[in-house]
Chains A and B, each alone.
Chain A
């Protein structure tokens, strides 16, 4: 729109900074937003297209990506600085979304792009950016309420597998995900590891385990299975540092006096002298003792691990920071479990003797904290703790022909797992963009009621945007998006375009779902960010163009 002369007028150099005013602001932002959104758009849907990205550090073949969350991380700078601001704005939004819910980046990109482009057009014709942003926010609430209303719970391995397939588009992985999440539930512990064959495999482990192994190989009782295991064992929980064998005397005396036949000692450090002392005092037929280090990195994590162990086994933790020593140990300070095991890497307990009521209350408290906190890191830690306490875990071994394929599928599996948890917690919606179409009547009704031009523009923009994901999915799969949209509208509510068959189908019956939590997060992120971008009036550049390659810290999670 603006010629070079106009740009010279509106662009001023102020000392070491360059300040950009309208209309250059919108133009620059728009080019950047469109470039970033267009880079992610091809990945939307079950028939995504590939985005090839040149490698920076070597001259191997480009990375072939179909995951929007990963693609945006790879795009670290655009040459034009005005465009770069818009692109990095979108990158930040999508990166945060990916970290928070594991999926939905392409949907968010398409929505954001549609809303921003239509918004710019409206503002160029004289609309008010602040009022438009306000009405877009009102529309967000309306859409989120509609999505909540039509969300349905998901259960059973088959339905869960369908949800997984809608996320990862990988039939074998989806089948296992369905089975795994049917068993472990939304809070269950799932480890996703690189496999050793072409095929995906899963394994379930009973009981709880922590990633701390025996402090000495000599403590292994079963050398065939490289582990030691005992029944009805006692557990001494601490984060003390055992430098001298004498520190252990009171604990061992209490154990022996009370006929404890097997004892697991948990402490932050065991000196060589302490380990030698324990090994010397083992009597395989009368008294077994093994030692592991306190799980967790840092005081806080160790405190959490000790708390969980104590609740599970009815033991009392001995805490270094509180000045505890084993000198004051009483028999009831020892925890107990039906089975205790340890190997070089892990130790675990099965059937802890803690009060089940206390355990259930403890888990309920952790769940409440998990649901309430906005801190992503804390949420992950809480999820890990809850998963452990539920009494079992699953491991999914990802197969593949090459290391690269395994790596990529592992990333997809992690993303799918995160979205599956959200799907179980918040339910599912008809997939393929149909859920967003379902919001159109409510938006249309609000549009019809509104007299304010900015409000009417906002609802019209949102009405248009609700179609954007379905159009992108159809176009990515090689279909005429307008043709597909027309047939879907003709078929009525709940119907969508299945790009794998090229047919208009009932999405519920076809088992094509979106995780409700993911879609709502994508909608919220897209509309809020587009509204914010539309209200940007001036860009101030630093002298040096910033680099954006370094990892950002996870953002806060917005509760919807």
Chain B
């Protein structure tokens, strides 16, 4: 797949708009299923991002429904469940995006900026929605009902969420906000400030090590000061790569077997950078593809090994494989 010429999106998705997020099936290699959350809605591809269909077709919408985020259930293979964040609420599909249920939020309607699902979703049915003005909402019934849980969350402008890979045991998640980072160790029922200096905020992106329970490592991407790493669950932070990453870090992905393979992928401004030494040194992601617009979102369905293809969503609405 990585040898192929990049595929331009079908006409429905060539509108001028931003691909805010990409979500990829865990068995992408076999089924080629992925989703693109865009200003004009949610689009589904079943052929490895070559062609796209409107995932909201069954809703028969009269106007485009901006979709800021799409996430798949960790047990997507079995439950075919995905969630889409839209202004005012969250949509849930239990058939891989063919039909949808609308989950309403208490008024006033929040603007959902991010979604995060418990790794143990199959058992606990828990997921979280970050919003731009109303903090964090939590659902414990598979996205049907939502309630705000903002004890101690002193900044309700939440830009990103990250859930511990061992959530079933530690109930830990982090929220990135305009003024810094907050941590909950009780499933978002209460939040505490993390000692992330406010002058490095806002924080746009977060990623927890797959081995977080042992290495307590997480990465935070700021809006103007690059990438930071904590190796003690957020108690102290080191700025990584200094001036080389002096700007917005919009997305962070870690290798599935991090820190065994210490690979980190970031979307820095509009460049895709990779580090193979846990963030010390960085290089451009190798690609022959010339991008005609800025990169807005990333997905790494095959991991971060050299030569593995990446999916990138651009600010002109297209999705490319590089």
Binding site for B on A (CB under 8 A): 155-157, 182-185, 188, 204, 206, 231-232, 338-339, 351, 355-357, 359-361, 363, 389-392
B178 proximal to A (CB < 8 A): yes
Q: Is the CB of A351 within 8 A of B135?
A: yes
Contact A391 to B179, CB < 8 A, known contacts A183-B186, A183-B189, A351-B135 = no
A-B contact pairs, 11 of them (CB 8 A): A156-B186, A182-B190, A183-B151, A185-B190, A188-B152, A231-B108, A360-B155, A360-B179, A360-B198, A391-B151, A391-B153
Q: Which of B107, B133, B150, B157 contacts A391 (CB 8 A)?
A: B150
Q: Is the CB of B178 within 8 A of A356?
A: yes
Q: Is the CB of B108 within 8 A of A356?
A: no
Q: Once the chains are docked, how many angstroms separate the CA of A378 from the CA of B133? A: 33
Would you give the shortest CB distance from A230 to chain B, in whole angstroms?
A: 10
Which residues of the other chain, A, contact B134 by a CB distance below 8 angstroms? Answer: 338, 351
Q: Name, among B151, B156, B177, B185, the residue most crowded by chain A CB atoms within 10 Å (CB to CB).
A: B151
Q: Is the CB of B155 within 8 A of A356?
A: yes
Q: Name the residue of chain A whose CB is nearest to the CB of B179.
A: A356
Would you give the shortest CB distance from A235 to chain B, in whole angstroms?
A: 16
B122 proximal to A (CB < 8 A): no
B270 proximal to A (CB < 8 A): no
Would you give the shortest CB distance from B124 to chain A, in whole angstroms?
A: 16
Q: Once the chains are docked, how many angstroms separate the CA of A363 from the CA of B152? A: 11
Q: Once the chains are docked, how many angstroms separate the CA of A3 from the CA of B110? A: 84
Q: Once the chains are docked, how many angstroms separate the CA of A366 from the CA of B171? A: 29
B148 proximal to A (CB < 8 A): yes
Q: Is the CB of B186 within 8 A of A182?
A: yes
Q: Is the CB of A185 within 8 A of B152?
A: yes
Which residues of the other chain, A, contact B153 by a CB distance below 8 angstroms? Answer: 391
B154 proximal to A (CB < 8 A): yes
Q: Which of B135, B151, B178 contacts A184 (CB 8 A)?
A: B151
Q: Is the CB of B190 within 8 A of A363?
A: no
Q: Once the chains are docked, how many angstroms separate the CA of A151 from the CA of B185? A: 21
Which residues of the other chain, A, contact B186 by a CB distance below 8 angstroms? Answer: 156-157, 182-183
Given known contacts A183-B189, A206-B148, what 14 new A-B pairs fall within 8 Å (CB)? A156-B185, A156-B186, A182-B186, A185-B151, A339-B108, A351-B135, A355-B179, A356-B157, A356-B178, A359-B155, A360-B154, A360-B179, A360-B198, A391-B153
Which residues of the other chain, A, contact B189 by a CB distance below 8 angstroms? Answer: 182-183
Q: Which of A188, A231, A355, A359 contacts B151 (CB 8 A)?
A: A188
Q: Is the CB of A392 within 8 A of B150?
A: yes
Per-residue 0/1 for B185-209: is the Cβ within 8 Å of any A Cβ (1 yes, 0 no)? 1100110110000100100000000
Q: Is the CB of B133 within 8 A of A338?
A: yes
Which residues of the other chain, B, contact A361 by a CB distance below 8 angstroms? Answer: 198
Q: Once the chains are docked, how many angstroms separate the CA of A219 from the CA of B214? A: 56
Would you give the shortest CB distance from A507 to chain B, in whole angstroms?
A: 24
Q: Is the CB of A338 within 8 A of B108?
A: yes
Q: Which of B107, B157, B190, B193 contacts A360 (CB 8 A)?
A: B193
Interface range on chain B: under 10, 10 to 19, 20 to 34, or 35 or more? 20 to 34
Q: Once the chains are docked, how many angstroms separate the CA of A391 from the CA of B134? A: 12
Which residues of the other chain, B, contact A188 by a CB distance below 8 angstroms? Answer: 151-152
Which residues of the other chain, A, contact B198 by a CB distance below 8 angstroms? Answer: 357, 360-361
Interface residues of B in 159-196 (CB under 8 A from A): 177-180, 185-186, 189-190, 192-193
Would you give the shortest CB distance from A39 to chain B, in whole angstroms?
A: 40
Which residues of the other chain, A, contact B177 by a CB distance below 8 angstroms? Answer: 356
Q: Once the chains are docked, how many angstroms separate the CA of A231 from the CA of B133? A: 12
Which residues of the other chain, B, contact A392 by a CB distance below 8 angstroms? Answer: 150-152
Q: Once the chains are docked, how many angstroms separate the CA of A155 from the CA of B153? A: 18
Q: Name the residue of chain B whose CB is nearest to the CB of A155.
A: B185
Binding site for A on B (CB under 8 A): 107-108, 133-135, 148, 150-157, 177-180, 185-186, 189-190, 192-193, 198, 201
Contact A390 to B193, CB < 8 A, known contacts A339-B108, A351-B135, A360-B179 = no
Enumerate the 7 nearest inter-chain pairs by beta-carbon distance, A residue then B residue, closest first: A356-B155, A356-B179, A392-B151, A231-B108, A183-B190, A357-B179, A183-B189
Q: Once the chains are docked, how many angstroms separate the CA of A95 from the CA of B165? A: 49
Contact A351 to B154, CB < 8 A, known contacts A156-B185, A185-B190, A338-B134 = no
Q: Name the residue of chain B whose CB is nearest to the CB of A351.
A: B156
Q: Name the residue of chain B whose CB is nearest to the CB of A189.
A: B151
Would you give the shortest CB distance from B193 to chain A, in whole angstroms?
A: 7
Which residues of the other chain, A, contact B178 by a CB distance below 8 angstroms? Answer: 356
Which residues of the other chain, A, contact B180 by a CB distance below 8 angstroms? Answer: 360
Which residues of the other chain, A, contact B152 by a CB distance below 8 angstroms? Answer: 185, 188, 390-392
Q: Name, among A155, A185, A355, A391, the residue most crowded by chain B CB atoms within 10 Å (CB to CB).
A: A391
Q: Is the CB of A231 within 8 A of B107?
A: yes
Which residues of the other chain, A, contact B154 by a CB distance below 8 angstroms? Answer: 356, 359-360, 363, 389-391
Q: Once the chains are docked, how many angstroms separate the CA of A20 from the CA of B134? A: 70
Q: Is the CB of B133 within 8 A of A351?
A: yes
Q: Once the chains are docked, how many angstroms separate the CA of A509 from the CA of B151? A: 30
Q: Once the chains are docked, how many angstroms separate the CA of A339 from the CA of B150? A: 14
Would you give the shortest CB distance from B224 to chain A, in whole angstroms?
A: 14
Q: Once the chains are docked, how many angstroms separate the CA of A476 from the CA of B135? A: 51
Which residues of the other chain, B, contact A389 by a CB distance below 8 angstroms? Answer: 154
Q: Name the residue of chain B whose CB is nearest to the CB of A206.
A: B148
Which residues of the other chain, A, contact B179 by a CB distance below 8 angstroms? Answer: 355-357, 360
Q: Name, among B152, B153, B192, the residue most crowded by chain A CB atoms within 10 Å (CB to CB).
A: B152
Would you give the shortest CB distance from B201 to chain A, in whole angstroms?
A: 8
Which residues of the other chain, B, contact A390 by a CB distance below 8 angstroms? Answer: 151-152, 154
Q: Is the CB of A204 within 8 A of B151?
A: yes
Q: Once the chains are docked, how many angstroms separate the CA of A351 from the CA of B177? A: 14
Would you give the shortest CB distance from B291 to chain A, in whole angstroms?
A: 35
Q: Once the chains are docked, how many angstroms separate the CA of A392 from the CA of B193? A: 15
Q: Name the residue of chain B whose CB is nearest to the CB of A363.
A: B154
Q: Name the residue of chain B whose CB is nearest to the CB of A361.
A: B198
Would you give the shortest CB distance from B72 to chain A, in whole angstroms?
A: 30
Q: Name the residue of chain A whose CB is nearest to the CB of B148.
A: A206
Would you give the shortest CB distance from A233 to chain B, in whole angstroms?
A: 10
Q: Once the chains are docked, how many angstroms separate the CA of A363 from the CA of B193? A: 11
Q: Once the chains are docked, how many angstroms separate the CA of A188 from the CA of B186? A: 15
Q: Once the chains are docked, how many angstroms separate the CA of A206 from the CA of B189? A: 11
Q: Once the chains are docked, how many angstroms separate the CA of A231 from the CA of B110? A: 12
Which residues of the other chain, B, contact A182 by a CB distance below 8 angstroms? Answer: 186, 189-190
Q: Once the chains are docked, how many angstroms separate the CA of A392 from the CA of B152? A: 7
Which residues of the other chain, A, contact B156 by a CB distance below 8 angstroms? Answer: 338, 351, 356
Q: Once the chains are docked, how many angstroms separate the CA of A414 from the CA of B4? A: 70
Would you give the shortest CB distance from B160 to chain A, in whole angstroms?
A: 15
Which residues of the other chain, A, contact B107 by a CB distance below 8 angstroms? Answer: 231
Q: Once the chains are docked, how many angstroms separate the CA of A183 from the CA of B185? A: 10
Would you give the shortest CB distance from B256 to chain A, in whole angstroms?
A: 29
Q: Once the chains are docked, how many angstroms separate the CA of A184 from the CA of B189? A: 9
Would you give the shortest CB distance from B219 to chain A, in whole angstroms?
A: 22
Would you give the shortest CB distance from B274 to chain A, in whole angstroms?
A: 33
Which residues of the other chain, B, contact A185 by a CB distance below 8 angstroms? Answer: 151-152, 190, 192
Q: Name, among B107, B135, B148, B154, the residue most crowded by chain A CB atoms within 10 Å (CB to CB).
A: B154
Q: Once the chains are docked, how many angstroms separate the CA of A361 from the CA of B201? A: 14
Would you give the shortest CB distance from B157 to chain A, in whole angstroms?
A: 7
Would you give the shortest CB distance from A205 to chain B, in whole angstroms?
A: 10
Which residues of the other chain, A, contact B157 by a CB distance below 8 angstroms? Answer: 356
Would you give the shortest CB distance from B64 to chain A, in whole angstroms?
A: 25
Would you give the shortest CB distance from B265 to chain A, in whole angstroms?
A: 29
Which residues of the other chain, B, contact A357 by a CB distance below 8 angstroms? Answer: 179, 198, 201
Which residues of the other chain, A, contact B193 by a CB distance below 8 angstroms? Answer: 360
Q: Once the chains are docked, how many angstroms separate the CA of A391 from the CA of B153? A: 7
Q: Once the chains are docked, how many angstroms separate the CA of A389 from the CA of B155? A: 11
Q: Name the residue of chain A whose CB is nearest to the CB of B110.
A: A338
Q: Name the residue of chain B whose CB is nearest to the CB of A204.
A: B151
Q: Name the residue of chain B whose CB is nearest to the CB of A394.
A: B151
Q: Name the residue of chain A whose CB is nearest to the CB of B189.
A: A183
